Chain A
Amino acid sequence: MRDSLAIIWSIGRKDLLLEIRNKDVVVAVAGFALLVLVIFTFAVDLSQDNAKLVGPGVLWAGIAFAGVTGLNRAFSLEVEGNTLEGLMLAPISRDLIYLGKALGNFLFIAVAQIIVIPVFAVLFNLVVFRWEMLAIALLTTFGFASVGTLFAAMSVRVRAREVMLPLLFLPVVTPLLMAAVESTGHLVNGRSWGDMAQWLQLAAAFDVAFLVVSAFIFQHILED
């Protein structure tokens, strides 16, 4: 178990090191999401009621679309240098490769959110800095990373991968997006944990189910 965790961390840390040097993924994800937020501040009349109504949807749709850009990039780097095959030569089970890559993607999207969510709070003039937001962000990012890593691996060898990944990814994460939007909606309206519990539970169930299923399917994708 400790060995497995060390390998997962080793792959995730390697991705982090490369990201610190290249800044490919976080800049793309944060930049894209910020652009979406800024465009909506001009496109929508952001009275306090309107902001509470549309803000959560704009935030999470922006992060989901931006996340696709980052997920695409994170996996294509492994394929361009054939380093994915380097990982496949190692005496580790394929699901550890998946979990390591998912950890890296989780960290990238999480870092991008640290930039995006405060800007969202300012632009939409909403109070989001509560512990509930941390839970929503972590659960949603976890789900994005687990599903996105799988679909990025599936689409990375396809010629039209920039189109393929969002077509696969976005429909599948719709329940997670709904959970994130609804619970953020409760949050900005000042409601408590109890009101958003069912949405957080849905997100948690989604995360667990897709992590297990994705790790299993990933092995077969690599073998093919």
Chain B
Amino acid sequence: MDVEIPAGQIAVLLGSNGAGKTTLLRILSMLTQPDAGTIQIYGFDTSTNGPSVRAVTGAALHSPMLYSDMSIRENLEFFAGLYRLDSVSNLIEKTSNKVGISERLDQRVRTLSHGYQKRVALARSLMHNPSLLILDEPDSGLDSLSVGMLDTIINEHRASGKTVLFTTHLLDHALEIADRAVVLDRGRVLIDSTNPESERDAILDAYARQQSLSGAANA
């Protein structure tokens, strides 16, 4: 796989289960070691500049990665401390307003629904204003109102010159908001489109082909 995503783009990874989307996002988030190859994020090589890469990266993956017996505020304060952020109270207020969790800041995470926990995880990943935002199926478990809020956040992130890389199974929605679409099949790139709207048919075709390849491989 050889993919380069310029800064300021919204890129979507597509493919059925097992295509390698989550694995790629985990490697980019430095939670999984690649078997081979090199990855550079904003000029930093991930194998030699771990903390620098993680400082410019924010990730909200499948699991919300939150302490269930701490409140939303306590979780955000704790993670803000790990990122050495200043004016934490203001930051929490601003970020929680953005993702729509400000009304329940003092509620323990254990008592929140899955969708709400995903919002808190999104807030955690946004707090340090990362240059690269990595989101693994951020729309799963969200209602339509929350999906709209998510689109706004993603678009705002791009508007400020930052990059968003996400995965989703909502194909039509992804092609509407993404500047770049990459269809994966078992760790290989089937199609890498820099103009998803005009290459929609080719992407849908590659996606369908990937699903049949994946189905054949599983059978």
Knowing A88-B30, A89-B31, A89-B54 are in contact, say whether A83-B66 is a contact too (CB < 8 A): yes
CB-based contact B82/A17 at 8 Å: no
Cα(A11)–Cα(B79), bound, Å: 10
Q: Is B29 an interface residue, CB under 8 A from the partner?
A: yes
Query: Within 8 Å of chain B (Cβ to Cβ): is A224?
Result: yes
Using Cβ atoms and an 8 Å threshold, which residues of chain A touch B30?
88-89
* Chain B residues, CB < 8 A from A17: 70, 74
The reply to whether A85 and B81 form a contact with Cβ atoms under 8 Å apart is no
A21 to B70, CA, bound (A): 9
Pick from B63, B65, B69, B79: contact of A18, CB below 8 A: B69
Chain B, Cβ-Cβ closest to A86: B65
Which B residues are in CB contact (< 8 Å) with A89?
Answer: 29-31, 54, 57, 59, 65
Q: Which residues of A contact B31 (CB under 8 A)?
A: 85, 88-89
Tell me the bound Cα distance from A85 to B31 in angstroms: 7
Count of residues in B whose CB is under 8 Å from the partner chain = 29
CB-CB contacts below 8 Å: A1-51 with B: 3, 6-7, 10-11, 14, 17-18, 21-22
Bound-state Cα–Cα, A92 to B81, Å: 11
The reply to whether B65 and A7 form a contact with Cβ atoms under 8 Å apart is no
Contact between B51 and A91, CB atoms less than 8 A apart: yes
**11 pairs of residues in contact across A and B, judged by CB atoms under 8 Å:** A7-B84, A81-B63, A82-B65, A83-B66, A85-B65, A89-B30, A89-B54, A90-B54, A90-B82, A91-B83, A224-B33
Interface SS majority for chain A: helix
How distant is the Cα of A41 from the Cα of B34 in the complex, in angstroms?
Answer: 56
Q: How far is the CA of A224 from the CA of B78 in the complex (A)?
A: 25
Could you say which residues of chain B place their CB within 8 Å of the CB of A93? 50-51
Contact yes or no, B66 A81, CB < 8 A: yes
CA distance A82 to B29 in the complex (A): 14
- Return the chain A residue nearest B108 by Cβ: A21
Min CB gap B27→A, angstroms: 12
Contact string, B65-99, partner A, CB cutoff 8 A, digits 1/0?
11111100010001101111000000000000000
* Cβ contacts under 8 Å, B65 to chain A: 81-83, 85-86, 89
Tell me, in angstroms, the Cα distance from A224 to B31 when the chains sit together. 9
Closest Cβ of chain A to B11, distance in Å, is 20
> What does the 1/0 interface line of B35-61 toward A look like (CB < 8 Å)?
000000000000000111111010101
Closest Cβ of chain B to A171, distance in Å, is 30
- The distance from the CB of B47 to the nearest CB of chain A, in whole angstroms, is 10
Chain A interface (Cβ within 8 Å of chain B)? Answer: 3, 6-7, 10-11, 14, 17-18, 21-22, 81-83, 85-93, 223-224
A7–B85 CA distance with the chains assembled, in angstroms: 12
Assembly CA distance A14 to B82 (angstroms) = 11
- The answer to whether A14 and B83 touch across the interface, beta carbons within 8 angstroms, is no
Residues of A within 8 A of B74 (CB): 17
B127 to chain A, nearest CB (A): 11
Chain B residue nearest in CB terms to A11: B82
* Distance of A21 Cα from B74 Cα, bound (Å): 13
Chain B hits for A92, CB < 8 A: 51, 54, 82
Q: A82 CA to B54 CA in the complex, in Å?
A: 17
Contacts of B67 in A (CB 8 A): 14, 18, 81, 83
Q: Contacts A18-B69, A93-B50 hold; do A82 and B63 have CB atoms under 8 A apart?
A: yes
The smallest beta-carbon distance between A94 and chain B, in angstroms, is 8
A90→B63 CA distance, assembly (Å): 16
* Nearest B-chain residue to A81, judged by Cβ: B68
| B52 interface neighbour in A7, A83, A90, A91, Cβ under 8 Å | A91
Closest residue of chain B to A96 (Cβ to Cβ) is B82
Contacts of A82 on B, CB cut-off 8 Å?
A: 63-65
Nearest 7 A-B pairs (CB), nearest first? A86-B65, A91-B55, A90-B82, A82-B63, A91-B54, A10-B81, A91-B51
Residues of B within 8 A of A83 (CB): 65-67
Min Cβ gap B138→A in Å is 15
